Amino acid sequence: MNLLDSLRTHRLMAIVRGPDPEATLASVLTLADTGIALIEVSLTGADALGTIRQARASLGANFGLGAGTVLSTDEAQRAADAGASFLVTPALAPSIAEAGRLGLPVLAGALTPSEVVQAGTSGATAVKLFPASIGGPAYLGALRDPFPRTAFVPVGGVDAESARAYLDRGAVAVGVGSPLLGDAVRGGDLGALRDRAAEFLAEVSSS
């Protein structure tokens, strides 16, 4: 997949991490049905690889389904085998180079200017600014001056209000976890998840 084009087009990536594999899968499928086109399933969730396999089978080969919190080369390989079409890391890690070897785009975690440079030289498709809440939209704005061509995706503490602020400061997209998922990954209300997804989609489309 062309991850960068998808980020620029859709401007929102859902981050799904849950303790209940069945509820996690239901959340992924609900988000996709609501219109969210990029979904990351974190490997720190219960049976995350199984969730990716099942979601891929349901959503088809072309859906933007990725694996998150991918740190090692082994995790990168297993995520690819499960059907992930992109990888996400929380930091600079061996999985970035492995993603390149596997031919998968990677959203690499970085926070400082030095880490942003290293992410780019390591082959990252885009930079996951994490945890974005430490500096907020103003910090992203400061980074945009020395890195005007870097594709930033703020992640960590992004809610519907701050999503618009990050996009206004030049982010290509935002990654959203618990403010979007709520209790759905623990078996909560999928109808409420649909409502929150619609709210986030409206925010990013208006930015």
Compute the distance between CA of residue 11 and CA of residue 167 in angstroms, rounded to an integer. Answer: 8
pLDDT over 80 at 10, yes or no: yes
Catalytic position from the list 75, 98, 128, 203: 128
Give the model confidence (pLDDT) of 126-177 as tens digits.
999 999 999 999 999 999 999 999 999 999 999 988 999 999 999 999 999 9
Is-catalytic flag, 75? no
Give the model confidence (pLDDT) of 98-136 as tens digits.
999 999 999 999 999 999 999 999 999 999 999 999 999
Quote the mean pLDDT of the chain.
97
Average pLDDT of the residues in 46-57: 98
CATH code assigned at 158: 3.20.20.70
pLDDT tier at 79 (50, 70, 90 boundaries)? very high
Catalytic position from the list 22, 40, 75, 199: 40
Tokens 């078996």 correspond to 187
> Structural domain of residue 76, as residue ranges?
3-205
Q: What b-and-e string marks burial along 135-157, b requiring 16 or more CB atoms within 10 Å of the CB?
A: ebbebbbebeeebeebbbbbbbb
Give the model confidence (pLDDT) of 14-37 as tens digits.
999 999 999 999 999 999 999 999
Closest listed residue to residue 12, CA positions, set 162, 184, 187, 190: 162
pLDDT over 70 at 196, yes or no: yes
Provide the pLDDT for residue 121: 95
Q: How many domains does the chain have?
A: 1
Is-catalytic flag, 199? no
Provide the pLDDT for residue 207: 64
Q: Report the length, in residues, of the chain.
A: 207
